[in-house]
Amino acid sequence: MLNNLPLLTLLIFTPVAGAVLVSLIPREYPNLMRTLALAFSLLAFVISLPLFFGFDNQLTSFQFEERAEWIPALRATYHVGVDGISLLMLVLTTFLTPLVILSSWDNIKRSVKGYLVSMLMLECGMLGVFVALDLLLFYVFWEAMLIPMYFIIGVWGGERRIYAAVKFFIYTMLGSLLMLVAILFIYFYYGRVTGTLTFDFVQIRELLFPENYQTWLFLAFALSFAIKVPMFPFHTWLPDAHVEAPTGGSVILAGVLLKMGTYGFLRFCLPLFPNAAMAFTPLISVLAIIGIIYGAWVAMVQPDIKKLVAYSSVSHLGFVMLGIFTLNHQGLQGGLMQMVNHGLSTGALFLIVGMIYERRHTRLIADFGGLARQMPIFTTFFMIATLASIGLPGLNGFIGEFLVLLGTFLSNKWYAVFAATGVIFAAVYMLWMFQRVMFGKLDKEENAKLEDLSTREIMILAPVTAMMILIGVWAQPFLAKMETSVDYLIRNVQARAAKVNDAPGLAPYVASIPPLKGVKGVSLVSSTVPENLESTDLMNDEMNLNAHPVSKNTPRAPLKGGVCCGGAQSIPPLRGVRGVSLASALEHENFESKDLMNDEMNSIGYPVSKNTPRAPLKGGVDEENGGSL
């Protein structure tokens, strides 16, 4: 049922609709703008709920997929979908945005309209990054999202906002431009090998690149993601951006933007370049550990609370990276979980710092002391967020860090030992800061008049705190969402990495890979991934009827097992896919559009497209069409 509604498109463009409406309101009505922006961000959250609850935990494929033509001349499609890796990020984004808008209700006073429009456009960009399954589409969202963030830091930020905004923008662009070159390279390499030009990630991930290409492509992608994470030594933009950004900007930056880097590693670097990922694992793990320890140490000596929290982000994201590059189940799940946790707990901490800053207009630890008696409710929330950030059992941080350390221990004991010291340092800097700010004697005149949290502020912090506790005591539903996808990813990476040496062309990566969607008779390969026949059929129907011409022309990865025994090489290369197109003509094939595609392909001038043997077709198709091969 849910598959019929274009939920993801609705989700992405709800904030845009909100932004358009907000921009039409005359500037005399700031409260109307705020209400409207809040309403639309809440609407986006509501739309994301059926995604979360309707998500099928058992499927390895992308769900809620949508495809539409975007730039047919270049074969770029509007292709979106979620799997267990992006789902939680998606919900985290829609969860945090309304809170951020609520939190800036009073403290953004000038150019309210611009701020709200930027925030909503930013949400659109972030959601787009997490659901895009077309490399060009991903890149567009990835970069376009910089613009609103740049304005948020640069217009509504603190003293050194311009420096921070420009640094943020240029650093991020620096990495992503090389990623663009890599995307172009992949596009043509895929075209050369398969005879089909496409930016579609789902197709491209079935191709295995030769090892030396993988190294370069991995580096190009990884630089872009590592800057975003940020990994040591690319982290220097982060403290500046965090400190100068307004509270809302910091929350989004910590909560969601940083996760895009780690998400990029999971989504693109690991599955596309498995060998390179494995080869770079030691380097990245060491950098991650340096990040963990360095971030913690630097955080410890910060006099400014916000800067302390910013450096703690470097440390926490180090854990995420470490977890991801264990390349085992526990580590990856822990990393993903830690992405969510960090979004919640650090987001909460930034909100809290913002609240105290609004009251005192200072963030220096030395200016506070003994606030606990004065502000009991505030103290409670602050305490929970602090403990969650440290990773106290019973709160969310524990789950993630524990899994990461467990996974790391399984892959390399020494990494785990060093990383674990980060947990201790985290306790030191957080608790020490908390003690100096909240406890002790109330010796400053100004602090005696501080008011406790208002209802609005409680409304902001309560949901985040509730989520922190919920994940802390009952993480299972969240872990279950990602379980299958993580499993699939790991197996995919390992199986493909093993295959690279005998793969000059299209990867005949078949061994021990869970079934591709829509394929019957292969489920014996993976017993842990029970195949859901009903939904695979649905997928097939969609694929055949949904009139995306590219998908018909496209070679699928070869299949193993019952359908075509002995592996991919034994299938005769298919030339021109004529046979299949005849067969599928029975299924309302649209010949016209197909011919158009062919013409266009020639027009792109890909020289070998006519003579190159196509890759063998996937079993599912020929089986249904009576083996037209």
- Give dist(CA 62, CA 102) in Å, integer: 33
Which one of residues 1, 4, 28, 73 is an interface residue with another protein (CB under 8 A)? 73
Report the nearest approach of another protein to the CB of residue 417 (Å): 40
Q: Total number of residues binding another protein (CB under 8 A)? A: 42
DSSP string covering 65-87: EEEEEEEGGGTEEEEEEE-HHHH
- Where does residue 561 fall: left (phi above 0), alpha (psi -120 to 50 degrees), or beta otherwise? left
Which residue type does 167 have?
Answer: K
410 forms part of the interface with another protein (CB under 8 A): no
Choose among 508, 491, 490: nearest CA to 499: 508
Q: Which is nearer to another protein, 70 or 297 (CB)?
A: 70
Assess contact for 357 and 307: CB atoms under 8 A: no
Q: What share of the chain is helix, strand, coil (3-state, %, to 5)?
A: 70, 5, 25
Assess contact for 158 and 244: CB atoms under 8 A: yes
Span interacting with another protein, options 96-104, 185-193, 295-303, 550-558, rule CB under 8 A: 185-193
Residues 573-612 that bind another protein (CB under 8 A): 600, 603-606
Cα atoms in the 13 Å half-sphere on the side-chain side of 317: 35
- Give dist(CA 382, CA 386) in Å, integer: 6
Span interacting with another protein, options 166-174, 268-276, 293-301, 502-510, rule CB under 8 A: 166-174
68 forms part of the interface with another protein (CB under 8 A): no
Q: Which is nearer to another protein, 69 or 211 (CB)?
A: 69
**Residue listed under structure tokens 């496209």:** 554
Q: Which is nearer to another protein, 113 or 499 (CB)?
A: 113
Q: Which is nearer to another protein, 161 or 491 (CB)?
A: 161
Report the nearest approach of another protein to the CB of residue 188 (Å): 6
- Give dist(CA 216, CA 222) in Å, integer: 10
Distance of CA 452 to the CA centre of its chain: 36
- Give dist(CA 573, CA 571) in Å, integer: 6
CA angle 337, 340, 345 (to 5 degrees): 120
Report the nearest approach of another protein to the CB of residue 232 (Å): 22
Which one of residues 5, 20, 47, 147 is an interface residue with another protein (CB under 8 A)? 147
Report the nearest approach of another protein to the CB of residue 604 (Å): 6
Residues 485-514 that bind another protein (CB under 8 A): none
Q: What are phi and psi of 54, to 5 degrees?
A: -90, 0
- Give dist(CA 279, CA 261) in Å, integer: 19
Q: What's the first-to-final CA gap in the chain, in angstroms?
A: 34
Q: Is 178 exposed, middle or buried (0-12, 13-18, 19+ CB in 10 A)?
A: middle
Assess contact for 267 and 125: CB atoms under 8 A: no
Distance of CA 304 to the CA centre of its chain: 29
Span interacting with another protein, options 14-22, 148-156, 511-519, 546-554, rule CB under 8 A: 148-156
Residues 123-142 that bind another protein (CB under 8 A): 136, 139-142
Residues 99-118 that bind another protein (CB under 8 A): 111, 114
Which one of residues 2, 32, 46, 170 is an interface residue with another protein (CB under 8 A)? 170
Report the nearest approach of another protein to the CB of residue 85 (Å): 23
143 forms part of the interface with another protein (CB under 8 A): yes
Report the nearest approach of another protein to the CB of residue 181 (Å): 6
The CA–CA distances, whole Å, from 273 to 86, 97, 176, 270, 484 equal 19, 33, 17, 6, 20
181 forms part of the interface with another protein (CB under 8 A): yes
The secondary element (H helix, E strand) that includes residue 419 is: helix 413-438
234 forms part of the interface with another protein (CB under 8 A): no
162 forms part of the interface with another protein (CB under 8 A): yes
Which one of residues 10, 39, 47, 178 is an interface residue with another protein (CB under 8 A)? 178
213 forms part of the interface with another protein (CB under 8 A): no
Which one of residues 24, 49, 184, 301 is an interface residue with another protein (CB under 8 A)? 184
Span interacting with another protein, options 178-186, 228-236, 318-326, 504-512, rule CB under 8 A: 178-186
Q: What are phi and psi of 304, to 5 degrees?
A: -105, 125
Which one of residues 32, 46, 71, 283 is an interface residue with another protein (CB under 8 A)? 71
70 forms part of the interface with another protein (CB under 8 A): yes
Which one of residues 95, 169, 221, 509 is an interface residue with another protein (CB under 8 A)? 169
180 forms part of the interface with another protein (CB under 8 A): yes
Q: Which is nearer to another protein, 146 or 461 (CB)?
A: 146
165 forms part of the interface with another protein (CB under 8 A): yes
**Residue listed under structure tokens 């467990």:** 406
Report the nearest approach of another protein to the CB of residue 268 (Å): 17
Distance of CA 176 to the CA centre of its chain: 15
Q: Which is nearer to another protein, 177 or 511 (CB)?
A: 177
155 forms part of the interface with another protein (CB under 8 A): yes
Residues that bind another protein (CB under 8 A): 69-74, 111, 114, 136, 139-144, 146-147, 150-151, 154-155, 161-162, 165-166, 169-170, 173-174, 177-178, 180-181, 184-185, 187-188, 600, 603-606
